[in-house]
Amino acid sequence: MNAHIAVLPGDGIGPEVTAAAVAVLRGVAGQAFAFTEHAIGGCAIDATGDPLPAATVEACRAADAVLLGAVGGPKWSDPNAPVRPEQGLLALRATLGVYANLRPLRVHPRLAALSPLKAEHLHGVDLVFVRELTGGAYFGRKTREGDVAVDECRYSVAEVERVVRRACELARARRGRLTSVDKANVLETSRLWRATTERIARDYPDVTLEHQLVDSMAMLLLTRPSAYDVIVTENLFGDILTDEAAALAGSLGVSPSASLGDGRRGLYEPIHGSAPDIAGRGVANPIGAILSAALLLRHSLGLDAEAAAVEAAVDAVLDEAELTADLGGHATTQQVTDAVLDRLAARR
Ligand code: NAI
Ligand code: MG
C-alpha cells in the first residue's frame, strides 16, 4: 500500500514533533508512505498572507491522511490582525468535514505521579472522548449590538446522528460503554442531542448508553475516571472536558488526537499547541505527535497491528527510557524518537 500523507508542520515546535512522527511512520515495518509537506498557520501567513493556502487544501483533499503539528505563536497573536493562524486550522477542519474529534486518554503509571490526581484514582483509566467538532456555539451566528453579544448554539439532528454513530462504532470496538454528555435539563440543543442519541444507540444493542449532565461529568472525570469507555459530547462541552482530561494525563506533550469525517481520511495532531517557549531547541516531547501517527495508522489506513506496535513502543519508552523535560527528564526530541524507533525495530 502506498498511502499519501500530507504533513503540515505549522509553527513553533510543530516542525520538530511532526518530524518525529514521520520518522516513526517510516520506521513502521513494511509500509511505503509518500509524504508531502505543506504550509499552515503563522508560517503560511508569512509566506502567502493566508493561514490556509489553496495549495495546502488541495494537497489535504488528495491525501489519505493529514498529520499536523501546531499553529500560532506570539508573532501572530495580535487580536486585531486581519488574519490569524488558528483560522487556518478551523478552516481546514471545516473543509475536510472532520466532525468527530477523538481524544484517547490513558495514564501511564510513570506519568501518574505528574498528574494532579492521586495515582490510585488513575489506575485503569482508558477512555476516549468523541467531541463534535464542526457545530454548536463555535460555528453559530455571532452578533454584537451595543452592550449585548450573542453566540448562537445550533445543532441539527443530522449533525448529532453522525457523530453519535461514530462514537457507537468506537464503543462497539472497545468495551461497549457509551456516555453521552449534555445539559438536557436546561438547553434545547441538549434535548435534541439526548433524544437523537437514544434513537441511534438502539441500532447498537451491544453498546450500553448512559447520559451525564456536563457539570456532573466535570466532577466524575476527577472522582472516577476509570469508569468510562467512550464519552461523546457537543463542541463546547467537549472543548472544556477534553482539556480537563488532558490535565489528568500528566503532560500536554503526550496526548494525541484524531479528527474524522465520513470517509477514512482524517486529520491527526497532538493536542498541545506550538509551545513558543521551547520552540527550536530540540527538547519538545514528541510522544503526542507519535501517538497521533498511531491513530492515523489505525483510523485512516486500517493498519491496526502497526498502530498497536507504535503504541507498545511508546509504552516501553515510558516504562524505562529517559524522557523529555516536561516529564522531568533530560532527553531531547531526537533521543526519545530514537528510543521509540529502537523498540519498534526490536519487535520485528
Ligand atoms: P501550548 O500547548 O503550546 O504550551 C503550553 C505549555 O506546555 C508550554 O509551557 C509548553 O512549553 C508546554 N508544552 C506543550 N507541548 C509540549 C511538548 N510537546 N513538549 C514539551 N512541552 C510542551 O499552549 P499555549 O502556550 O497556550 O499556546 C501557545 C501557542 O499555541 C498559541 O499561539 C496558541 O494559540 C497555540 N495553540 C495551538 C494549538 C493547535 O495548533 N492545535 C492548540 C493550542 C494552542
Ligand atoms: Mg481547547
Summarize pLDDT for 209-238 with one digit per residue, the tens: 999 999 999 999 999 999 999 999 999 999
Cell numbers 442519541 correspond to 197
**pLDDT at residue 72 greater than cutoff 70:** yes
Residues, the chain: 348
Binned at pLDDT 50, 70 and 90, residue 325 comes out as: very high
Where among 182, 213, 248 does a domain terminate?
248
Where among 201, 221, 248 does a domain terminate?
248
Q: With respect to residue 110, please indicate whether it lies within any of the assigned structural domains.
A: no
- Please give the distance, rounded to the nearest whole angstrom, from the Cα atom of residue 242 to the centre of ligand 2: 7
Per the rule left: phi > 0, alpha: psi between -120 and 50, beta: everything else, 33 is beta
Centre a 10 Å sphere on the Cβ of residue 85 and count the other Cβ atoms it contains. 26
**pLDDT at residue 347 greater than cutoff 80:** no
- Please give the distance, rounded to the nearest whole angstrom, from the Cα atom of residue 335 to the centre of ligand 1: 21
Look at the chain and report how many structural domains it folds into.
2
Residues 71 and 125 in one domain: no
Where among 229, 248, 267 does a domain terminate?
248
Q: Which residues, chain by chain, have CB under 5 Å from ion ligand 2?
A: 239
**pLDDT at residue 181 greater than cutoff 80:** yes
Q: Are the CB atoms for 40 and 12 separated by under 8 Å?
A: no
Q: With respect to residue 347, please indicate whether it lies within any of the assigned structural domains.
A: yes
Q: Are the CB atoms for 238 and 132 separated by under 8 Å?
A: yes
Ligand nearest to the CA of 288: 1
The amino acid at residue 251 is: S
pLDDT of residue 121: 85
pLDDT of residue 259: 98
Active site residue 142: no
Residues 52 and 23 in one domain: yes
Residues 313 and 332 in one domain: yes
Longest pairwise C-alpha distance within the chain: 65
Residues 165 and 223 in one domain: yes
Q: Is the ipTM of this complex over 0.90?
A: yes
Q: What DSSP letter does each residue of 150-214 carry, written as one string? A: EE-----HHHHHHHHHHHHHHHHHTTSEEEEEE-TTT-HHHHHHHHHHHHHHTT-TTSEEEEEEH
What does pTM read for this prediction?
0.94
Mean of the per-residue pLDDT values for the chain? Answer: 95
Q: What is the mean pLDDT of residues 100-107?
A: 95
Residues 120 and 221 in one domain: yes
Residues 86 and 43 in one domain: yes
pLDDT of residue 338: 98
Cα–Cα distance for residue pair 261/172, rounded to 1 Å: 18
Which domain, by its residues, includes 51?
1-98+255-348
Residues 147 and 244 in one domain: yes
Residues 238 and 261 in one domain: no
Tell me the C-alpha to C-alpha distance, in Å, between residue 8 and each of 55, 90, 242, 288: 12, 14, 23, 15
Q: CATH code at 205?
A: 3.40.718.10
Active site residue 138: yes
For 319, the grid coordinates are 516504562
Q: With respect to residue 106, please indicate whether it lies within any of the assigned structural domains.
A: no
**pLDDT at residue 138 greater than cutoff 70:** yes
Q: With respect to residue 197, please indicate whether it lies within any of the assigned structural domains.
A: yes
In terms of Cβ atoms closer than 10 Å to its own Cβ (0-12, 13-18, 19+), residue 276 is middle
Residues 132 and 233 in one domain: yes
Q: With respect to residue 289, please indicate whether it lies within any of the assigned structural domains.
A: yes
* Ligand 1: nearest atom to the Cα of 254: 18
Q: With respect to residue 107, please indicate whether it lies within any of the assigned structural domains.
A: no
What single DSSP character describes residue 130? E
